[in-house]
Chains A and B, each alone.
Chain A
Amino acid sequence: MSMTGNYTILQGGVWALLLWPCLLTVSHPLDCKEEQGSISRCPTISQEKLLDRVIQHAEVIYRVSEESCTLFEEMFVPFPMRLQRNQAGYTCITKALPIPSSKSEIQQISDTWLLHSVLMLVQSWIEPLVYLQTTLDRYDDAPDLLLNKTKWVSEKLVSLEQGVVVLMKKMLDEGMLTTAYNEHGLVQYDVQPEMLESVLRDYMLLSCFKKDAHKMETFLKLLKCRQTDKYNCALY
C-alpha cells in the first residue's frame, strides 16, 4: 500500500509541476472580474471554454487534494485511525450547506442552484485551507511536497472561485455575489493543540476537503452535460 502511495505521491508531484503553467494560463482570464464597463484588457472568453477551464480546475484540485490527504495519512496518521475520515460525516465544516447529495437530487435542481452550490463550497474552503497551511508548518517533519500541494490548492481554489463567479455572470446574468457563505470561525489560532489532536483534526480537514472537491468537480461536470446535451443529463 505504501508503494502505491509513494507512486501516487510522485505522480501527484509531477502533476502539480506539470499543471502549474497550464493553470496559470487557465487562470489568467479569470482575473478580469473587476472590469465591467471599461474597455476590457482581458480577452473575452466563450462560456463553453470558461466552463471547460473551470472544470479542469476542479478536476486538478480534486486530484491534488486526494494526494495531499493520502500523503498526510501516511505521514502522520496512525494506522488504526486511518479510516476515521469515513466517519467524519458530520464534522465537516460544510455539512450545514444546503447542497444536494445524490444524483437524483442533482439532476432535479436548476443550473443556478448547481452553480451556487459550487460557489458555496469553494468559498467555504478558502480560509480553512489557509489555516491548514499554518498548522502544517508547525509540524516538524512535514514533507515539502505536502506543503507545496496544500499551498497550491489554496491558490487554485481562489482562482476557481473567480471562475465560477464569472461563469455565473455569464450564464445566469447575475451580479457579483457576496460571500455570504463564509464559514464560521471553526478554527482557533490561539490554542496550541496536542499533536495527536492536531493531526486528527487536520486529517479530518483534508478528508472533508477532498470530498467537497469531488463534489465540486461532479457538479460542474453535470452542469456541462446539461449545457451540451440536455436530454441525457437532466431528468426534468
Chain B
Amino acid sequence: MAASSSSSILLLSLLISSLVCLSTPGSAFLMDGGHMTSSAPLEPHFTECISREQETFRCWWSAGSFQNLSSPGALRVFYLKKESPTSEWKECPEYIYSKRECFFDTNHTSIWITYCIQLRTQNNVTYFNEDDCFTVENIVRPDPPVALNWTLMNMSPSGLYYDVRVRWKPPPSADVTAGWMRVEYEVQFRGRNSTVWEALEVQGTTQQTIYGLRIGEEYEVRIRCRMMAFTKFGEFSDSVFIHVTEIPSKEITFPVTLALIFGIAGILILIVLIVISQHHRLMVILLPPIPAPKIKGIDPELLKKGKLDELNFILSGGGMGSLPSYAPDFYQDEPWVEFIEVDAEDADPGEKEDDQGSDTQRLLGLSQPVGQLTHIGCSHAISFPDDDSGRASCYDPDLPDQDALMLSAALLPGQPEEASLDVLERSPGPEIGERPIVHAQPQGPQTWVNTDFYAQVSDVMPSGGVVLSPGQQLRTQESTSATEEEMQKKGLENGDGEETEAKKEGKQKELQFQLLVVDPEGSGYTMESVARQISTPSSSSMPGEGYHTIPPQPIDTKPNQEAFLPPPTTTGEFQSPYIHPDSPQSQFLAPVSDYTVVQEVDCQHSLLLNPSPAPSPPPCLPQHPLKALPAMPVGYISPELLGNLSP
C-alpha cells in the first residue's frame, strides 16, 4: 500500500516536473544540448557544476536576462542534500562572487548522494530547476594529465612514416593511486595543416602509441581524461608538438644497397669474362656447327646450290690445279671444322701406293703424324693425306663384333677403272677375320675427277653388307658435298671388277665391309655407328662396276636392313645420298640374284629394293623429294635436299 502510494506520488511528481521542464525556458545544466526556447526571458540559472577530483565541487550561475540580479549578493544559492526525507535546503557554504561560483569543500561534499541546487533572490523568489539535481560522481571532470611527452619508436621500411609513443602522468589532483578515482585517457592528434583532430581509443594506461605519422610533418598532440565508465571528459592538456625530419638511419641502408649493386655488377662481369674466355668452347657446345659441306681449300660459296660447275672445275684440277694443301683457309674462324681433304693425286701409282700404303697405315691407326685437321670427338675425316688422330679414342677394340657394329664407310673417290677404295680402318692389324678392319684396296692412280666422294649404296645384303653401286662412271660432273662425308661415312668398297677380283684372290678371306654411320644429329663429330662385319662373297662384279656388290636378297633384306642399319630416322639420311632412284644407273645394275639395289627410300625410310613399276605411286602421299631433285649427280644429295628427306 505504501509502496503503491509512494509510486503514485513519484509518478505524479515526475509528470509535473516534466511539464515544468517543458515550460521553463531555462535549461538545466545537466541536460546535454538543453532546450532553449527563444524569446522568453532567461531567468537566473546554473550554468554548470563540476567536481575535479570527486572530493569537492563548484557550481556557477548566471543571472540570465535579469540584469538587475547580476550584482553580487542579489542571488543566493541553496542546496539540498537528499540524505533523508527530512533534509533541508542550505545555503552555499562558500561564495566566490567574482566568478559567480559556489564552492563546496570536502566537508560539504558527499559522494553518491543527490544534491539539488537552486537560486533564490533576496525576496525569496526561487528559481529552481528540478533537473539541477546530481550526484557528485556524475559531475566529475578530471584535470588534464600532466607530463605529456613522446618518444620515437619505429620507422617504416620506406622511411616515410614513423611511430611515436606518447607518455603522460595522471592529473595530480585525481587520487588515482589510492584508487579513489579510476581514470581513462583519450589522446588526440592532428597535423599542422589540418583542423580535424584525430582521436585514439580511450584507454586506462598512461601511455599510447600513435602509428603512421609522416616524416617531415609537424603534429600536435593533446590528451584529456575522464572517470572510467562515466561520460564527462575533463579539459584538454597543453599540446605537445612532434616533428621528425629525415632520419640518419637511412644512410646506413644506403651502403648496403650500394654493396649489393657492386656485387651484382662484379658477378656479371665475371660471367662475361668467363663467356669471353671460353668463347670457343661455349660456341661449340651451344651452337654446334651446322654440317655444311666444308672442303678445305674450297670456298664454301661454291658448295652451295647451283655451283657445281665451278666446284667441279676446281676439284678436277682446273684453275689453280689441284687443291693445294695450302689452299686459302676459308674457315679461319671455325677451327673446329673438319674438312674433307681432297688431294690432287698424281698419277704415280707408286706414289699412290705409297700414299695408299701410308693412307692405309694411317687408316689402320699406325703411328702416324697428326693430320691437318682438328678432330673433335671421334670425327673422322677421310682424306688421303689425312691422319686419323682421334680414332683410337672412339673405337673400342674389345667390343664384340655383334655389339659394336660399326659401319664405317670411307668416302672415296672412286673410279671405275681404278677403284681405289680407302676404307676407314677400324683397327690396325692384319687380322681380317677377327675384327672389322679397314679394307684398303690399292688402286691405280686415281684422280678424283671422275671419282665419287660418295659411293652409292645400291643394295644392302641380308648379312648387312652394303652393295655399292657404280655411280661416277656415268657422270661427268659431280658435286661434292662433304656433309655426308663428315656426318656419315659408309664404307664402300670401290672395286674395279678386275681389281677386286685380284684383290679377292689376294684376300680370299673375308672382306669386310664396314659401314660407318655417323649420326648427323649428334654433334657431328661423334660417331654413332653400327659396325658389323660384312663378309663379302666372292665378287662377281660386272665389268664396269666400280663397286663391289653384295648379293642381294630383295625381300629378306629389308628387315635385315632395318636391323642392321641405324635407326630409321637416320637411315634415310644415310641412305639418301646413296639412293639413286631413277638414275639410269640402276638399269645398269643388272639385278643379279646376289645383289639388291636400293632403289628408293619411301617415306617411312625403308629401303625399297625392288621398286614397284613406275606408274604405281608410292604409298606415301608426299612426293618423294628425290624425284623433285634437279639433275643431281647420282648418289649425291645436297644438304638442302637432305633436309627435305629427313623427317
- Which A residues fall within an 8 A CB radius of B? 1, 4, 59, 62-63, 66, 80-81, 83-84, 86-91, 95, 101-105, 186, 188, 191, 193, 196-197, 200-201, 211-212, 214-215, 217-218, 221-222, 224-225, 232-233
Cβ-closest chain B residue relative to A194: B11
Partner of B111, one of A80, A81, A103: A103
Stretch at the interface among B176-184, B338-346, B370-378, B602-610: B176-184
Across the interface, which residues of B come within 8 angstroms of A80, CB to CB?
Answer: 18, 21-22
| Chain B CB within 10 Å, residue with most, of A86, A102, A105, A186 | A86
A101-B111, A218-B179 are known contacts; what are 18 more A-B pairs with Cβ within 8 Å?
A63-B228, A80-B18, A83-B131, A86-B30, A86-B114, A90-B84, A101-B83, A101-B110, A102-B106, A102-B109, A104-B106, A186-B3, A191-B4, A197-B7, A218-B111, A224-B179, A225-B177, A225-B178
Across the interface, which residues of A come within 8 angstroms of B177, CB to CB?
Answer: 225, 232
The reply to whether the CB of B196 lies closer than 8 angstroms to some CB of chain A is: no
Across the interface, which residues of B come within 8 angstroms of A84, CB to CB?
Answer: 14, 17
Q: Considering only CB atoms and an 8 Å cut-off, how many residues of chain B contact the other chain?
A: 46
Across the interface, which residues of A come within 8 angstroms of B107, CB to CB?
Answer: 104
Interchain CB contact under 8 A, A197 and B11: yes
Cβ-closest chain B residue relative to A82: B31
| Chain B CB within 10 Å, residue with most, of A90, A91, A188, A233 | A90
Contact with A along B90-113 (1 / 0, CB 8 A): 000000000000000011011111
Cβ-closest chain A residue relative to B231: A4
Interchain CB contact under 8 A, B133 and A87: yes
Interchain CB contact under 8 A, A86 and B106: no
Interchain CB contact under 8 A, A86 and B138: yes
Across the interface, which residues of A come within 8 angstroms of B149, CB to CB?
Answer: none
Chain B contact residues: helix, strand, loop or mixed: loop
Interchain CB contact under 8 A, A102 and B111: yes
Partner of A200, one of B10, B116, B179, B180: B10
Taking the nearest CB of chain A, how far is it from the CB of B134, in angstroms? 5
Across the interface, which residues of A come within 8 angstroms of B55, CB to CB?
Answer: 102-104
Across the interface, which residues of A come within 8 angstroms of B138, CB to CB?
Answer: 86
Interchain CB contact under 8 A, B116 and A87: yes
The reply to whether the CB of B135 lies closer than 8 angstroms to some CB of chain A is: yes
Interchain residue pairs A-B with the least CB separation, the first 7: A221-B179, A89-B114, A89-B82, A101-B110, A225-B178, A66-B229, A80-B18
Interchain CB contact under 8 A, B135 and A86: yes
Residues 376 to 404 of chain B near chain A (Cβ within 8 Å): none
Across the interface, which residues of A come within 8 angstroms of B112, CB to CB?
Answer: 101, 211-212, 214-215
Across the interface, which residues of A come within 8 angstroms of B11, CB to CB?
Answer: 196-197, 200
Partner of B10, one of A86, A91, A95: A91
Decide yes or no: A214 and B137 within 8 Å by CB, A103-B111, A221-B179 being known contacts. Answer: yes
Across the interface, which residues of A come within 8 angstroms of B333, CB to CB?
Answer: none
Interchain CB contact under 8 A, A89 and B22: no
Across the interface, which residues of A come within 8 angstroms of B7, CB to CB?
Answer: 193, 197, 201
Distance, CA A212 to CA B113, complexed state (A): 11
Taking the nearest CB of chain A, how far is it from the CB of B137, in angstroms? 6
Cβ-closest chain A residue relative to B116: A87
Partner of A83, one of B31, B106, B178, B228: B31
The reply to whether the CB of B85 lies closer than 8 angstroms to some CB of chain A is: yes
Distance, CA A52 to CA B420, complexed state (A): 117
Across the interface, which residues of A come within 8 angstroms of B137, CB to CB?
Answer: 211, 214
Interchain CB contact under 8 A, B114 and A87: yes
Taking the nearest CB of chain A, how far is it from the CB of B14, in angstroms? 6
The reply to whether the CB of B441 lies closer than 8 angstroms to some CB of chain A is: no
Cβ-closest chain A residue relative to B11: A197
Interchain CB contact under 8 A, B83 and A90: yes
Across the interface, which residues of B come within 8 angstroms of A201, CB to CB?
Answer: 7
Interchain CB contact under 8 A, A88 and B114: yes
Across the interface, which residues of B come within 8 angstroms of A186, CB to CB?
Answer: 3
Taking the nearest CB of chain B, how far is it from the CB of A192, in angstroms? 12
Cβ-closest chain A residue relative to B114: A89
Interchain CB contact under 8 A, A86 and B133: yes
Distance, CA A99 to CA B171, complexed state (A): 28
Distance, CA A197 to CA B11, complexed state (A): 7
Distance, CA A87 to CA B113, complexed state (A): 9
Taking the nearest CB of chain B, how far is it from the CB of A69, in angstroms? 10
Across the interface, which residues of B come within 8 angstroms of A225, CB to CB?
Answer: 177-179
Across the interface, which residues of B come within 8 angstroms of A66, CB to CB?
Answer: 229-230
Interchain CB contact under 8 A, B83 and A103: no
Decide yes or no: A90 and B82 within 8 Å by CB, A188-B3, A200-B10 being known contacts. Answer: yes
Across the interface, which residues of B come within 8 angstroms of A101, CB to CB?
Answer: 83, 110-113
Taking the nearest CB of chain A, how far is it from the CB of B267, in angstroms? 56
Interchain CB contact under 8 A, A89 and B113: yes
29 contacts between A and B (CB under 8 A): A63-B228, A63-B229, A66-B229, A80-B18, A83-B28, A83-B30, A86-B30, A86-B133, A87-B116, A87-B133, A89-B82, A89-B83, A89-B135, A91-B10, A95-B84, A101-B110, A101-B113, A104-B106, A105-B110, A186-B3, A188-B3, A188-B4, A193-B7, A196-B11, A211-B135, A217-B182, A218-B111, A222-B179, A225-B177
